Structures are given as structure tokens and as C-alpha cells.
Amino acid sequence: MELGPVDPAAATAAADTVGAPGGVRFGVQRAMAADILAAGQWSSMAGGGNVCRFRLKSTGAVMMSVQFSAFHLPPGGRVFLYDAAHSTFLGGFTQANEQPSGRFATAFLPGDEVMVEYQQPAGAGGAVLHVSSITHAWRDMFRQGAAAQRDIDPGYQSAPCHNNVACPIAADWQDQNHATLWFMMPDGRGCDGTLLNNTLQDGTPYVLIANHCWQPTEDQWIFYFNYQSPTCIGDTGQTAQTLSGCVRRAVLYPGDFCLMEINDPPPPSFGAYYAGWDHSGTPPQSGASILNPQADVKKISFYNTPATSTTIDVAQIPCWQTYWYSGILEAGASGAPLFDQNKRVVGHIIGGEQTCATATTEPSFAAKFSENWDSGTGPASRLRDWLDPANNTVALDGYDPNGAPPIVAVKLKVMLAGPFVQSTGMMASGLNDSDLVPLSEPYTAMGYVHHGLGGGESTTADVLAVTGADRVVDWVVVELRNKNNPAVVLATHSALLRRNGTIVDEDGISDVEFQGMPADNYYVAVRHRNHLGVMTAAAIPLSATATLKDFTNASVALAGGTVSTKLVGTTRCLWAGDANFNGSVSYTGVNNDRDPVLVKINDPAPTAVYSGYAAEDFNMDGVVKYTGALNDRDMILTTTGNLPTGVVTDSLP
């Protein structure tokens, strides 16, 4: 199938009318309907099966992309596309490349002719391949002949005062560089976008773009990763790392933004990074933008004076106004991220171009991330529902799914009032001495809901065999809670409590580590299966390097103040007596803690005892007793101030 030549000037004039979407134009979409399998030429393959080939030609194109209105393959079926010179190919595409909409689109191949080849395994059937259109590019984005191996060279390079992202000036911005994408649409335009992190840090491929770039063909957009020069000087870069298709999650016209979600997450080989963000609305003091000006390879521009607030366009879009001291903006940068001094996204570019001569005097404009956070009326028109459903995080750092996972470590010291021995300043290890401490954490079986990667922790007999001050007393749970809302538990870790009060990891030695949690401020809580939990009064800074937080000597302020712990001599201890793990200790009334002691004994005679690992064993000597010396009932009364109707509750929200 062949189409005649295109007049670029006429095509541009027809496409770029007043009010048309933005982005840099390099071509035009042309209808070219064909049922590949019905119209193609079939032949047998030597190893069995058949192959079908169909030629598409758009005379004069310097590169072509193909859009399929229907793309369905049986198991084992593969589709390849290659140029007339057989020097460049795409594929093989399989069932794994099918999109939810049933449509599909390819990246660009050089030249004005593309061969579509379908390889059908023996006995297979049910394939559907319908081409609906092609994108005819008239701008020379591919070198021809021997230089084709250099991949893309726009031939209409951006201004010489740009900085390639491989230049030394960009050395500290490589994570953010890997969050910036260039995408091309079937109508022959391209814009920038930014992969954004979300509070789950699960690698959902959300991409922030400018709304004025959007067209309702998103399931056929092509996203180019790492389209950049490998050197500081040069305008060629690889274009093999692509993903096809996305869906729109949110849009706000007065904020000129769309939040897209790519249909498939980028594979590890792409080295993608999910940029952090800040929606506080605090003016950024300095920062950068990473962009593809004129569809050229990625560049980086810098500002070092505080951004100012302004509005632009008839929609009065709230923007940050910036002036660049190195680099500029040009057409094609729409949607490019504006990063602040903390390397977090605070906006996306929607206007303001410069030449090398006006680099420092003409401003650029970025739609405010803070305004688009929750200015809409619901999930379809604001960012927060997708990036932070709980809406309790103001600023979030970036996420590297392929790097070493972030780690937060804590070093804590607590004492339990039940087994605490004032004369030694340490806890008794009666449970461990009787071989009753389990090798696996007990909290999951109790119905406690773990968060993050917590739950299922286990230790070894050798760890429990350690003697002296480091001997294990029991298991506890350490919680990291949201710095803006301490009622939200972000991560948990079951850990071991030693006689000297230190809490250690399952190995009996290391600080407690939370994998996947970035350095930040957190409320820290400690809970035990029959003592009342405690929590810091404020969010405290945590990182991979832990510093001791001692809850036993009032050096760390606790939620609820001094009454949140019991003072034994000069040592602050967690209150004992919470048999049912409900955050309160009571002697009488509904859900009291005295009745479970009797139930555990399971004997009409109150002088009976139960031996074993039990929540009702408040002094943790391995025996549940209702009467007599060292009984557990009296510990409930001690906690409630010897008031049978008294109730003591923890201060955990």
C-alpha cells in the first residue's frame, strides 16, 4: 500500500490551527487502512508455520510509525517491522505487547517504507492485525546510510547554548534525568513528561504532562526512555528503549496538566527513576529543568534565583516564573519537569522560550504542582488521589526501583514493667530460661496487622541461647508512623528485646532495619503483646544510620507524657497487664484483663496455674497465676493504681 508525498508546509498549516494542541511538530498522521493478514503475501517458513508480509509506503517520509486499530496474536505469534534497507527493525512483538484497548503503535523506523511481517506458528490461528494509519515524519530525525547506526540525529538541532545531560554540569542530576521522558503521538508531535513517585513507592508508571499536549490517542503514544547523547557534545542518542500506550488518570484545564499512566512499567534495563515532588507551594530557590528542545536529545537548564508566582494564558494558570542562568527552553519542552533545590518536582513547563541571546532576560513558566495537587473536584481532576491517596505527605523523595532499596534503621531501648528487676536495672529472662520464647514472631498469629515488609520474622536457637545482659526476653513490634498523621502506620518490624532493654533485629545483634523506607521523619512506636505501647511525641529524623533513642530515661519525649510509662525507681517502663492486646489495662468491666487470666488457668480452683508462653503472663516468668506469690492478677491492679474500676490506656492513635 502506497501514499503520495506530503507538503510539510501545508500539512503543518492544516494541523497547527489556532487553538491546536502544542508540542513540537515533526510530521503528520495519515490514514492507511489495511487488514494485514487478508491483504499480505503469505509463504511457508522452513521450520514450519507461515509468514505474512505487507508493505506500507508514504512517499518522501524520512521516518514512519505504524498504528494498529486491532492487534491480537495467538501464542507463539510474532510481529516484526523493518525498513526498506533491512538495516533497522522493531519486534518481535507478541501477546505480551497487546494493549487493553486492543490498539497498538510502534516506534519510528527510518525511511518512507515499512514492511510488516507476521510469523505464524504451525497450527496457530486467531490473529488480527489491522493497520489504521501511519505517522509520516518530514523532519530528518535519522541519518541515512552508514551513519544510521548512530540512531537519531534530528538534523534540526536545538540551540548551541544548551547543556547535554551527559555534561559535568548535570552530574548531580542523573536520577532526575532518568525520570524525564520524551513521547511522540500519532499526529506527528512530541512533548516531554516526568515519571512521578507515589507514596506507596510501588513503581506505578505515572507520567505528568502538559494538558495542551494531550490528544485522545494515548493508547498509541510512544514513550522514549534515555533519548540522550552519551557524551557532552553531540546530538545523537539511542531510541530502542520505548513503551507503547497509556491511559489518562487526571486532567485539569486551568492547571494545564494531565496525569497519565503507562500501560506497562519500564523494565529494569531502562534504568527508570520516579521523581519526587513537593506540593507545599513554597517558592523554589533554585533548581533545574530537563527537556528535549526541538525533539533533540535531552538537555538540562538551571536557575539560581528564587522562582516567583504569576499566572499566564486566558485560563490564568498559576505558574512559577524562572530565569535560566545556564541553558534555555525551546519548543518541545512542554511538560518538562521543573525541579527545586531538593530535586523534587514543583511544576511542569508550559510556556516561555528563549534564544541564546535572551537566555537570562526572557522568563519561562511552569504550572504549579501545588495548585494541581488538589484544585480539582475529584480524582479525575487532581494529583493527590493518585500520588498520595491518604493526602498526608507534603514532600516525597524520588524512588529508584533498580537501585539498592532505601533503608531506615532504628536503635531503641525500652523496659517492660512486668519482668523488670529494679535491683539489677534489667529484665528477667524467665521465658527464655524455660525455652518458651518462640523462634518466629507471635504477633501475626495474634491478629496484629503488619505493614510494609513486616511480619513473619524469625530467629535461631543460637540467638536465644546468648546469656548475660544481651539475653533475649521476648519479641516486640517496632512501628514507623506517618510524620503528618501518626495514626497511619507505614511499616512494622518484629524484633527481639534483650535484658538490657535494647531492641535488636532477628540476628540478636543488629539495629532494626526497615527495607524500602526512605530517610525521613517518622513517629516511632514500640508495642508488646501484654504491655501498653509507647510512641514518640513527635516525628523524629531517621536514616540508614541509627542513633540510640532511649525510652527508659525521659531523654525522648513520648506521646502522652510521663504517664505513658511506669516509673520504677529511676527507670521508665511500659505498663504491664494488657492481656487482650487492646491498648488498655482494666481489672473489671467489658474486655477487662483479669478474666483472661482465669480463662487461661482453665481450672475451677484459683490456685491452679498455667505453664507456657501466654499473653496473660504479665511478669513473663513462664507461669500464669491468679493467686499467690508473683501472681499476674496483682499486676493489673498495680497498673490501675489498685483501683478495681481504674483503666489505663496507651497513647497510640
In a domain, 27, yes or no: yes
**Strand 2-3 with 50-58, pairing:** parallel
Cell (9 digits) for 77: 505469534
Question: Do 174 and 83 have their domain in common?
Answer: no
Distance CA 343, CA 398 (A): 8
Distance CA 146, CA 612 (A): 79
Distance, C-alpha 583 to centroid of its chain: 33
Which residues span the domain enclosing 131? 2-150
Question: Do 367 and 417 have their domain in common?
Answer: no
Question: Residue 9: CB partners within 8 Å, gap ≥ 6?
Answer: none
* 371 touches 255 (CB < 8 A): yes
What ranges in 456-556 are assigned the alpha helix state H?
A: 461-464
Total domains in the chain come to 3
Question: Do 231 and 111 have their domain in common?
Answer: no
Question: Do 52 and 172 have their domain in common?
Answer: no
Distance CA 397, CA 343 (A): 8
Question: Do 384 and 414 have their domain in common?
Answer: no
Instruction: Give residue-wise pLDDT tens across range 435-476.
Output: 999 999 999 999 999 998 899 999 999 999 999 999 999 999
Q: Give the pTM.
A: 0.63
Question: Do 388 and 415 have their domain in common?
Answer: no
The string of DSSP codes covering 432-470 is: HHTT-S-SB-STTTTT----TT-S--B--HHHHT--GGG
In a domain, 636, yes or no: no
Shortest CA distance to 573 belongs to which of 536, 531, 613, 538?
A: 531
Question: Do 431 and 564 have their domain in common?
Answer: yes
Q: Which of 549, 583, 617 is the last residue of a domain?
A: 583
Question: Residue 55: CB partners within 8 Å, gap ≥ 6?
Answer: 1, 2, 113, 114, 115, 116
Query: Omega of the bond prior to 92 within 30 degrees of 0, cis?
Result: yes
On the 0-12 / 13-18 / 19+ scale of CB atoms within 10 A, 23 is: buried
In a domain, 435, yes or no: yes
**Strand 276-278 with 344-351, pairing:** parallel
* 493 touches 407 (CB < 8 A): no
Q: Which residues pair with 34 in a beta bridge?
A: 131
**Cell 503528520, located at residue:** 28
Question: Residue 595: CB partners within 8 Å, gap ≥ 6?
Answer: none
Q: Which of 559, 583, 607 is the last residue of a domain?
A: 583
What's the confidence (pLDDT) of residue 22? Answer: 64
Question: Do 316 and 348 have their domain in common?
Answer: yes
* 139 touches 106 (CB < 8 A): no
Instruction: Give residue-wise pLDDT tens across range 195-224.
Output: 999 998 889 999 999 999 998 899 999 999
Report helix, strand or coil for 328: coil
Shortest CA distance to 58 belongs to which of 92, 27, 80?
A: 27
Shortest CA distance to 364 belongs to which of 381, 379, 351?
A: 351
In a domain, 625, yes or no: no
Question: Do 450 and 539 have their domain in common?
Answer: yes
Question: Do 130 and 183 have their domain in common?
Answer: no
What's the confidence (pLDDT) of residue 152? Answer: 44
Distance CA 87, CA 287 (A): 41
Q: Tell me the one-letter amino acid at 608.
A: A
In a domain, 505, yes or no: yes
In a domain, 653, yes or no: no
Question: Do 178 and 121 have their domain in common?
Answer: no
Cell (9 digits) for 145: 546510510
In a domain, 626, yes or no: no
What's the confidence (pLDDT) of residue 140? Answer: 60
pLDDT, averaged per 10 consecutive residues of the chain (653 residues), comes to 83 58 78 94 88 94 92 93 87 88 90 93 89 86 39 60 94 97 89 95 95 91 92 81 94 95 93 96 97 91 97 89 95 94 97 92 96 95 95 92 86 98 97 97 94 92 97 98 92 97 97 91 97 97 92 95 96 97 95 94 83 97 94 94 91 93
Question: Do 412 and 356 have their domain in common?
Answer: no
Q: Which of 583, 614, 642 is the last residue of a domain?
A: 583
In a domain, 619, yes or no: no
- CATH number reported for the structural domain that contains residue 44 in this entry: 2.60.120.290
- CATH number reported for the structural domain that contains residue 344 in this entry: 2.40.10.10
The string of DSSP codes covering 188-245 is: TEEEEEEEE--TT-S---EEEEEGGG--S-GGG-EEESS-S-SSSS-S-B----EEE-
Distance CA 185, CA 261 (A): 15
